[in-house]
Amino acid sequence: MANSNQVIKPKINLLNNKFRITFVSFLAYFAMSGMLAPIGIISGPMSDAFNLPITEITAGFSWLTFGILAGAISALFVFNWVQLKKLMIILYCAISASLIALFFQEQIALIWPILGLVGLCAGTGLAGSAFIISRTYDDNQRASMLVITDGWFSLAGIVCSWIAIYLVSRNFHWSGSYQFVALVALIMLLLLFFSQLPNSKNEPGDSVNTETWSLKVWLCIFALFLFTLGQNSILWWLPTYAEQYLNAPRDQAGSLVGQFWSGMFAAQLFVAWWVLKIGVQRLVIIAGITTATGSIFMWVYPEIDGLVILALLWGFANLGLLKLVLSLATQMLKLPSARLVSGLLLSASLGTAVSPWLTSQIVEASNTRFIIQFGTLCYIVLFCLVFWATRLHQADLITNEAMTRSS
């Protein structure tokens, strides 16, 4: 009987553990998006609730985004100091408690530091989740799984945007959608308690973290910064633009954000399969072109009814570009280390961090239409960088192959 238990138990734990830690990683992306996606929707109600200009409210979310940036920076080091499982439990316990506290807080001066703490924990946890995926799945599956994590990011954009629209239109508390994210964090805690996570600490003699990052890797890093800056420049101001320029009602203007995430979610389900067929290098070029082109329609099309459909199509046209760039960068080194994954996410987090302040300054100096045009410019430069990186990588592959043959 004892021998039977010894044989069966490891098999069950192995299967369930891989499922649990993968699901935790997906939920980490869901939670992050759930905090960022509703910003453009709840900024108006917060402006009304606290009697402050909407530009000041939007700029205040810099606490959240710079917290995410700080978390991404800490992820470069903290995983070598603290056991991954223990750290993840601490992080998502703090997130759930802080988000719940927002519902009871009526002083704007205290709300921002709370969001800063949430961002710090979420930024660190996201890097941990990406590391879990990179070490749980091999090269052939990693790109597909990373795109699926973006699918969960998009799914949260859909769900949390619509929750925010529903609650705001019925005059519920502005933090209502954040309470749903708190519930997600509690579910993550439950899963983490019963899971075994991979080791994030450096092994003796491990040379993975000392591998030099070449120019092509740095091009991908800067491209990720431009992706989040461009996306936030458009999505956070698109509802306000629709209200001001297209005379759209608030709920219909807010639905543009949900439509974008719906399209992106559908695309990522498709891309998770397609990337296995044509490869990351080809697909990232296609996605760069379609993302930049699709964003132009956001500030060109003059009617709200058509813009709702175009937002859906533009979301699909993104084709999971962020994770395609990240996957491309991980293929440029022999083995993706926790430091590389954290560095890539740090760049994306930096783009998110500067978005509230930078876009608010641009809007104050110009208008909401120009900030959306600025987002398109970010995507165009991104495409140029990614195209350059793929050419460099292809040249390196040819050189290495020639050296192998000659030897």
CATH number, position 217: 1.20.1250.20
Residue 286 has pLDDT above 70, yes or no: yes
Count other C-beta atoms under 10 Å from residue 109's C-beta: 8
Confidence band, pLDDT 50/70/90 cuts, at residue 170? confident
Q: What is the pLDDT at residue 104?
A: 87
Residue 290 has pLDDT above 50, yes or no: yes
Confidence band, pLDDT 50/70/90 cuts, at residue 220? very high
Answer whether residue 377 is part of any domain.
yes
Answer whether residue 35 is part of any domain.
yes
What's the gap between Cα 161 and its chain centre?
15
CA quadruple 244, 248, 250, 255: dihedral positive or negative? negative
Confidence band, pLDDT 50/70/90 cuts, at residue 4? very low
Answer whether residue 250 is part of any domain.
yes
Residue 294 has pLDDT above 50, yes or no: yes
The count of domains in the chain is 1
Contact between 175 and 257 (Cβ < 8 Å): no
Q: Cα(246)–Cα(241) distance, rounded to whole angstroms?
A: 7
Cα distances (angstroms) measured from residue 203 to each of 200, 206, 211, 292 = 9, 5, 15, 42
What's the gap between Cα 162 and its chain centre?
18
Mean pLDDT for the chain?
85
Confidence band, pLDDT 50/70/90 cuts, at residue 7? very low
Answer whether residue 91 is part of any domain.
yes
Lowest mean pLDDT among 128-132, 194-198, 231-235, 381-385: 194-198
Question: Structure tokens of 1?
Answer: 């009987």
Mean pLDDT of 61-71: 88
| Structure confidence by residue, pLDDT tens digits, 92-136 | 999 999 999 998 888 888 999 999 999 999 999 988 888 888 778
List, in sequence order, every beta strand (DSSP E) within 60-153: none
| Residue appearing with tokens 């553990």 | 17
Answer whether residue 288 is part of any domain.
yes
Confidence band, pLDDT 50/70/90 cuts, at residue 140? low
Mean pLDDT of 34-57: 86
Q: What is the pLDDT at residue 6?
A: 41
Lowest mean pLDDT among 3-7, 199-203, 208-212, 357-361: 3-7
Answer whether residue 75 is part of any domain.
yes
Q: Cα(171)–Cα(298) distance, rounded to whole angstroms?
A: 28
Lowest mean pLDDT among 3-12, 122-131, 263-272, 299-308: 3-12
Cα angle value 67/355/228 (rounded, 5°): 90
Answer whether residue 17 is part of any domain.
yes
Q: Is the pTM of this model over 0.85?
A: no
Where b means 16+ CB within 10 Å and e means fewer, 112-130 reads eebbbbbbbbbbbbbbbbb
Answer whether residue 4 is part of any domain.
no
Contact between 308 and 392 (Cβ < 8 Å): no
Q: What is the pLDDT at residue 12?
A: 40
Mean pLDDT of 142-160: 81
Cα angle value 266/167/227 (rounded, 5°): 40
- What is the CB-side half-sphere exposure of residue 370 using CA atoms within 13 A? 10
Q: Cα(263)–Cα(266) distance, rounded to whole angstroms?
A: 5
- Residues spanned by the domain of 113: 12-197+212-406
Q: What is the pLDDT at residue 19?
A: 85
